[in-house]
Every structure is written in C-alpha cells, then in structure tokens.
C-alpha cells in the first residue's frame, strides 16, 4: 500500500500569508495526487486534481505542484475562509489519503 | 446539480451489521462510479470500496472480508453492508462520486457509532 505523509500536521498563519502544505508519498505516484479541503462539520471538497489542475469554482489563490513522491499545495494569500483541514490523496494504486494538515489563523 | 445523500442508523451494536444507503441525483450510476469513504472522529479519511459504472466492485484489502457494496440503478441508490462491527468502526461514513480516481462530489456524511 502507498502511504501518504502530510506536513506539518498543524499550521498557523496570518491573513495574507503565502502558505505551503506538503504531502509525501511512500513511492512514486506519477502526479496522481488530489487535494481536498474539509471545513469543520462538512464533507471534504475537491480543490485540485492531478497535482495541479484547479477544480471548477475554486479560487485561483490555490495551486498545486510536485512530481515523483513530493507534492505541495500553496495558498498564495491566506483568507479567513481558508481555515480548514487539507488532505492529499493518491490514486496511482487504489486510493489512500494523508492524515491532513490543519490550517488555522494566527 | 449532482447530489449524494447518505442514510442509515446512527447506532449499531458491536458484532452487528451496518447497512447504509447513498441516494444519488444528477448523475447516472450506469455512467459513474461511487465510492464509500469513512472518517473516524478527529482522524483522517479511509477509502472503503467502489462500485464501478459497470456494476463491478473493488474493496480496501483491510476490510474486504467484511464489506459488500451494491446498487439499485432504478432507484439511483448505492448500498454499503459491513458485518462484524467493532468500536473502531465508529466513524462518519461518506459516499462520493469517483471519476478516474478523483472524488469530485461528496455526500454530507452519516455518523455511525458502534456501541452497546
């Protein structure tokens, strides 16, 4: 099974900050990597698919990058509504999720 | 407008069987696949299994022996059955449409507590 490791587990940042979340796979996943945002008490919402494709309706301040085993979600200018937990998910070999990064306002 | 909605009992006794329903609107089950995903309180997400658009199924190897997913296309419903429930199966259970490995639409989830 492919393991997904997200870091950090908790991130505190200020409104307007550039924020970077990391996700590392236990083996090469060939960019088959998605990112989801989950706000408290809600279902996850797809933000980015196939490493860097922005889902329809998602603000352009969200972007993704990476290759091989290392992937990144970037928020260019943090907004209050971005407070959430963010999960990465690989689909190179079945489906596994990272444990999540909780993003809070400083 | 695509919508998925889970339903089922909120409380299940240990060793019993869990039965959940996912009712889908805005997409056809014969053209789309649906997965079940669960999330224990305060923890991460675990993919459980999928029913493909052709009706075939695949399951997470960790729970394969206890899990069954089926559907009724005439009612646009997908069903989950999992037996021998234990306290560690306490979780929020989600159904989600599954397009080429991407979970693009999710239901609101249903909380299931395993307790006597």
User: pLDDT of A4-14, one tens digit each?
Assistant: 999 999 999 99
Contact B94 A44 (CB under 8 A): yes
Q: Which two tokens stand for residue B49?
A: 């299994």
- For residue B54, the 8-state DSSP code is T
- Under 8 Å CB-to-CB from A57, ≥6 apart: which residues? none
Element of type H or E holding A33: strand A33-38
- Are B101 and B45 spatial neighbours (Cβ–Cβ below 8 Å)? no
State which residue of chain B sits closest to A53, comparing Cα positions. Answer: B102
- Under 8 Å CB-to-CB from B73, ≥6 apart: which residues? B28, B29, B30
The sign of the dihedral angle between the CA atoms of A103, A104, B4, B7 is positive
- Whether cis (ω within 30° of 0) applies to the bond prior to A87 is no
Q: Three-state DSSP class for A55?
A: coil
Mean of pLDDT values over B12-27: 97
Residues A15-41 have pLDDT tens digits of 999 999 999 999 999 999 999 999 999
Chain B environment of A100 (Cβ under 8 Å): 44
Q: How high is the pLDDT of residue A54?
A: 98
Q: How far apart are CA B30 and CA B82, in angstroms?
A: 23
Q: How high is the pLDDT of residue A99?
A: 96
- Are A100 and A9 spatial neighbours (Cβ–Cβ below 8 Å)? yes
Q: How many CB pairs below 8 A link A and B? A: 47
State the number of CA atoms in the 13 A half-sphere of B66 facing the CB. Answer: 14
Pick among A36, A43, A51, A101 to test the B interface (most B CBs inside 10 A): A43
Q: How high is the pLDDT of residue B81?
A: 98
Q: How high is the pLDDT of residue B12?
A: 96
Q: Which two tokens stand for residue B62?
A: 């960790």
As a whole number of Å, the end-to-end CA separation of chain A is: 36
State which residue of chain B sits closest to A40, comparing Cα positions. Answer: B42
Residues A75-85 have pLDDT tens digits of 999 999 999 99
Chain A environment of B106 (Cβ under 8 Å): 43-45
Residues B59-96 have pLDDT tens digits of 999 999 999 999 999 999 999 999 999 999 999 999 99
Contact A100 B44 (CB under 8 A): yes
Q: How high is the pLDDT of residue B94?
A: 98
Q: How high is the pLDDT of residue A74?
A: 98
**Bridge partners, A72 (sequence order):** A22, A65
Query: Which of A49, A50, A95 lies nearest to residue B47, judging by beta carbons?
Result: A95
Query: Which of A42, A46, A98 lies nearest to residue B44, judging by beta carbons?
Result: A98
């Amino acid at each position: 099974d492919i393991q997904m490791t997200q870091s950090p587990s908790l991130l505190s940042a200020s409104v307007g900050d550039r924020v970077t979340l990391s996700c590392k796979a236990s083996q090469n996943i060939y960019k088959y990597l998605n990112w989801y945002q989950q706000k408290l008490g809600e279902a996850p919402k797809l933000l980015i698919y196939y490493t860097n494709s922005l889902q329809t309706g998602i603000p352009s301040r969200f972007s993704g990058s990476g290759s091989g085993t290392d992937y990144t979600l970037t928020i260019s200018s943090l907004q209050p509504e971005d407070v959430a937990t963010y999960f990465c998910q690989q689909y190179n070999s079945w489906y596994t999720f990272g444990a999540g990064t909780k993003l809070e306002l400083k | 407008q695509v919508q998925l909605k889970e339903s089922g009992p909120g409380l299940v006794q240990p060793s019993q069987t869990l039965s959940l329903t996912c009712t889908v609107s805005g997409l056809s089950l014969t053209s789309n696949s649906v997965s079940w995903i669960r999330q224990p309180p305060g923890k991460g997400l675990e993919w459980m299994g999928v029913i493909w658009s052709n009706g075939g199924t695949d399951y997470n190897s960790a729970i394969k022996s206890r899990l069954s997913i089926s559907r009724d296309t005439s009612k646009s419903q997908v069903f989950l059955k999992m037996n021998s429930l234990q306290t560690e199966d306490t979780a929020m259970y989600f159904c989600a449409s599954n397009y080429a490995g991407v979970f693009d639409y999710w239901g609101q989830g249903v909380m299931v507590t395993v307790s006597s």
